Chain A
Amino acid sequence: MTSKVEKVVEFKIHRFSPENKKRYVSTHSVPIRKGMTLLDALMYIKDNSDETLAFRSSCRMGVCGSCGILVDKEPMLACYTQVLQLNSDSLVIEPLPNMKIIKDLVIDIQPFMDTYNRIKPILIKSEEALKEPNAFVQVTADLKKYWDLSLCIKCSICYSACPAAIDEKFLGPSTYATNYRFITDSRDEGTEERLKAMADNLWLCTSCNSCTMFCPKEVDSSTSIVDERSLIVETGGIPRTVRDVLTSVTRYHNPMGMHPSKRMEWAKDLEVKAFPTIKDADILCFMGCTAAFDPRSQTIAKSMISVFNRLGVNFATLGTEEWCCGDHILRLGEKGLFEMLAEHNLSTFEKFNTQRILTLSPHCYNTFKHDPPYSEKNLNVQHYTQFLAEAIETGRLKPSKTINNRLTYHDPCFLGKRNEIYDSPRQILKAIDGLELVEMKRTRESSFCCGGGAGRTWTEEAVPEKRPSVHRVKEALELNVDMIATACPFCVTTLEDAVKVLDVEEKIEIKDVLELLDEAT
């Protein structure tokens, strides 16, 4: 007895034949019935349309981790996804990225599995303790501390989406999560040994959050890594590059190690109102440290001022009283320092009588929104792209000049993945005449991190081919665009470095959306 066919869905499957190394796409129509999963559809294709199709599966109940695939660029478990719930008549199916393809949808997960051999995925206990004839005691409250992290099914989805994992020094998101699962297990006695395994490599994580976002079991690898960093910071065993950043922020309240009195130098020729001279304005612009001290980012900051002036916005900055927002510092694991920065900024917000905050950087935006103590204050904060997209939509801002350019847009992780702001920057670009916006293969939710987050902009030491930014620029080059626009000063810097490394300065240019808008208005 068979059920009603609800609809026919077209499956476009990216294939790879190992015999002749050929890549091709095969298309299959699959009658979909209620209850059918993606895995059922793949099996239908194998049984009825193309027996040569290769994919993995075993449990078909979401616990064995065999069946991760990309569906319209988004990674998921084939057996745990209802086709009808995807609401689509046509689906593009690909193998998970970041790993070698063996055949069709079957990837080589050995490198991923091998990362677990670099930590100890069982309890570390003394010989003595293991002689104990009874089970160890563990109260439920202690079990709960690590339970969520113990749910990882080793499906490699996080690894496939992780920008840091292109460097084999990096253990992989789930491996750090597993290591942390044992660190937080009250029965474990191996914290020191476990931290050692990570001390020189977990700094490669950019906190892009892809791992956490796509994990089918809601394992929060990204936060585990931050927590592990905190433990390493406490023991002092941090690499020099990271230590330098933390020292600078402690001393000068910015990661560049510049004297705080110089924070407004970028604006010395502009008439920018600033605290404490000004104690009130409609909008407080939180500029961020890069805009203040990094020459490349300063031009973005200047664009912001000129666009705001044209719009007639009554705004001011915190001047030399602005301290690093602490986003990167928190992700680097220095929670104490972060709190100090936050306390200062919050108290200055109060003195300023702040009603509304706009940030230039998605990182400041993100931390104000989500990280206590900032988040506890429910600050009225927007990223500039939101504010300006609104201005364009309501007709207050009209880009008038034409810029003839074919470009693509790179989603900053802290704007996109972490805050779901995908449309505002695109709306701004679309409002500018002459710009032809094309999308990269990996875009929006499945965008690929530039590699600059969590302080990696300052600590980058990887060889070029292992830098996420280099991969990202190459991806853009495939589109034959002459520009990558983005909306984050860190993305601009890291991508620009990659352009230099690749020696393609003639071919492609990196700009912030603000700079383009400034040019066009």
Chain B
Amino acid sequence: MEIMSHDIIIIGAGMAGLRAAIAAAQFSKEVDVAVISKVYPVRSHSVCAQGGTGAVLKDGDSFDLHAWDTVKGSDFLADQDVVELFVRRAPQEIVALDHWGCPWSRTEDGKINQRRFGGHSFPRACFAADMTGFHEMHVLDGKAKTFDNVKFYDEWFVVSLLVNETAVAGLTAIDMKSGEMYALRAKAVVMATGGHERIYEFTTFSHTATGDGMTIAYRAGVPLKDMEFVQFHPTGLVPPGVLITEGARGEGGYLLNSKGERFMKRYAPERMELAPRDIIARAEMTEILEGRGLEGPYGHYLALDIRHLGEEKINERLPLIRDVAIKLGGIDPVKEPIPIRPAAHYSMGGINASIKAETSISGLYAVGECACMSLHGANRLGTNSTADCLVFGAIGGQEAAKHALSESLRELPKEQILTSEKRVFDTILGSEGDERVAAIRDEMRTIMNDNVWIFRTGDGLKSALKGIRELRERFGKVTVEDKSKQFNTGLIGALQLDFTLDLAEVTITSALARTESRGAHFRKDYSKRDDENWTKHTLAYCTKEGPKLEYAPVTITKWPPTARTY
């Protein structure tokens, strides 16, 4: 097998990965950086981010206020030292993106404009119309490509990490175009592989959000933290799950049930449709469970009605939403209400990482949505995720560069390379069982949607865990029909399924253990927050018997837990 070497390899070319690459390349011309991504960088999920990126820029706002909003939003599970660092670093990221060319929307005097966003008590969401992530990504991609010391491996699929004792030595990856597997050596590896929302059936995320890096790190021995916390967004378009931005409600859209009632009056009489995401998502589920959902060809749903805004205003303020509803939902919101229901939207949990993005393996860093430095705790605020990718992407890139400059390459563990090769080509591609990837994948998603959704119960979670373990068994008998090498998307699908099955198991195990309700994690059988027993982070370790759970304390600097009311 051919072996390539770099000082730093960044896995993932989304917002976090590209930001890390830029930071590492800028840190020193001497470091040789590689970026590996299973899709071309601008195809990464990050281009989907719409609403904005949060940062303190204006008088009247303050770091403490942004931090407090974040901590409160997190339902007091965020590590407050991380939050404080984050809010201080976010503004310079906005300026950097501006200097590289991001087309920020502007105020009348030509300054960067900021808008309101759920859970933030000050308008601090910087935005580029309703395509914020898209523009940020294209600028980051352009910037990363200006460096001679950054090399891109586009459409390379990472399969495993290679670890020499307690330090990272490299990784194995498949060049999708040729189908060949390679080992790559590095002094430092930065994991930036994004979220795992595709363990669910109904999600706002790209098809590629399969959490690969979380599983790869988990299998290499790094614990996954707080995986029970998955955010659900109240308005996923039915049937595709594509996000209908909060802006539609911000502009005055109503949420209606089958009786035509604005049902939010029962759940948040003051804030109505503009209450926090988790509250609306739970309200929607209650309406559906109590029989007041609308019944459509793709299951129960609720209606997001913006017709009363009129065609003119819709065209002016919500052009993308109209376009998306027509092109993807087959309905015109000027004439019909938009069918919506809650959709899996963000993974608060991820690879356990320190405030400097370090993990428990020396030389392995994790940034972006796949990482968990405990910035978002039990519930992320809108706009904090892209900011997280930028701030900690930059920190992770720099730390990796420092590390690479002081370390030398480690010997590659040959047997790990062989194991990886055998697993892919013999065990998975060579298998001749009678199970199908698509069937297992869909069943996994159904289980997660049915039992690990917005309302959870001990019994439901137990049955889900049993179901996922059966699927894991069946995965052993899966056959990939396509036996060829080049661009074998069937094989990639099988490998992604393999990764997501582990993540489903970890998510359920962590959720089952947490006998309280906090942020996005809501247990019907334990419907109160339990600060005394549960102000702590879940850490899931990979063992042969499945995930083993441990717990770690939450760092509290200024803000002791109080009731979270809006």
Residues of A within 8 A of B (CB): 1-4, 17-19, 33-35, 37, 40, 46-48, 50-52, 54-66, 79-82, 84-85, 102-103, 106, 108-110, 113, 116-117, 120-123, 125, 129-130, 132-140, 142-143, 146-147, 150-151, 153-154, 182, 185, 187-188
Q: A35-B239, A66-B40 are in contact. List 5 more A-B contacts (CB 8 A).
A: A51-B482, A80-B328, A82-B330, A106-B487, A123-B99
Question: Contacts A1-B298, A52-B490, A139-B106: A187 and B101 contacting too (C-beta < 8 A)?
Answer: yes
Q: Of B43, B243, B329, which is within 8 A of A65 by CB?
A: B43
Per-residue CB proximity of B220-260 to A under 8 Å, as 1/0? 00000000000000000001101100000000000000000
Asked if A81 and B486 sit within 8 Å, CB to CB, the answer is: no
Can you offer 6 A-B residue contacts whose CB atoms are under 8 A?
Answer: A60-B240, A61-B324, A122-B101, A123-B99, A125-B99, A133-B95
Asked if B39 and A103 sit within 8 Å, CB to CB, the answer is: no
Q: Which residues of B in the span 358-388 have a Cβ within 8 Å of any Cβ on A?
A: none
Q: Which residues of B in the span 290-340 have a Cβ within 8 Å of any Cβ on A?
A: 296-299, 324, 327-330
A115, B112: Cα distance in complex, Å: 31
Per-residue CB proximity of B501-535 to A under 8 Å, as 1/0? 00000000000000000000000000000000000
Asked if B45 and A60 sit within 8 Å, CB to CB, the answer is: no
By Cβ-Cβ distance, the 6 closest A-B pairs, closest first, are A3-B297, A121-B142, A137-B110, A47-B438, A135-B98, A52-B482
Majority DSSP secondary structure for residues of A touching B: loop
- In the complex, which of the residues A40, A61, A66 has the most CB atoms of chain B within 10 Å of its own CB atom? A61
Q: Of A54, A147, A185, which is within 8 A of B101 by CB?
A: A185
Asked if A61 and B328 sit within 8 Å, CB to CB, the answer is: yes
State how many angstroms separate the Cβ of A52 from the closest Cβ of chain B: 4
Asked if A121 and B131 sit within 8 Å, CB to CB, the answer is: no
Asked if B98 and A136 sit within 8 Å, CB to CB, the answer is: yes
Looking at chain B, what size class is its interface with the partner chain?
A: 35 or more
A-B CB pair tally, cutoff 8 Å: 193
Q: Of B95, B103, B327, which is within 8 A of A146 by CB?
A: B103
Q: Find chain A residues with CB under 8 A from B145 CB.
A: 116-117, 121
A41, B326: Cα distance in complex, Å: 17
Q: Of A62, A64, A103, A129, which is within 8 A of B43 by CB?
A: A64
Per-residue CB proximity of B450-492 to A under 8 Å, as 1/0? 0000000000000000000000000000001110111111100
- In the complex, which of the residues A4, A48, A154 has the most CB atoms of chain B within 10 Å of its own CB atom? A154
Q: Find chain B residues with CB under 8 A from A134 CB.
A: 95
Residues of B within 8 A of A (CB): 39-40, 42-45, 47-48, 92, 94-95, 98-101, 103-106, 108-112, 129, 131, 134-135, 138-139, 141-143, 145-146, 154, 177, 206-208, 239-240, 242-243, 296-299, 324, 327-330, 436-438, 442, 480-482, 484-490
Asked if B146 and A80 sit within 8 Å, CB to CB, the answer is: no
Asked if B207 and A57 sit within 8 Å, CB to CB, the answer is: yes
Asked if B101 and A4 sit within 8 Å, CB to CB, the answer is: no
Q: Find chain A residues with CB under 8 A from B99 CB.
A: 123, 125, 129-130, 132, 135-136
Q: Find chain A residues with CB under 8 A from B177 CB.
A: 102, 108
Asked if B330 and A34 sit within 8 Å, CB to CB, the answer is: yes
Asked if A138 and B106 sit within 8 Å, CB to CB, the answer is: yes
A3, B438: Cα distance in complex, Å: 20
Asked if B484 and A19 sit within 8 Å, CB to CB, the answer is: yes
Q: Of B239, B299, B327, which is within 8 A of A81 by CB?
A: B327
A130, B482: Cα distance in complex, Å: 51
Q: Find chain B residues with CB under 8 A from A142 CB.
A: 110
**Chain A minimum-CB-distance residue to B481:** A51
State how many angstroms separate the Cβ of B288 from the closest Cβ of chain A: 12
Asked if B106 and A61 sit within 8 Å, CB to CB, the answer is: no
Question: Contacts A47-B438, A82-B330, A143-B103: A103 and B98 contacting too (C-beta < 8 A)?
Answer: no
A18, B484: Cα distance in complex, Å: 8
A150, B139: Cα distance in complex, Å: 10
Asked if A147 and B103 sit within 8 Å, CB to CB, the answer is: yes
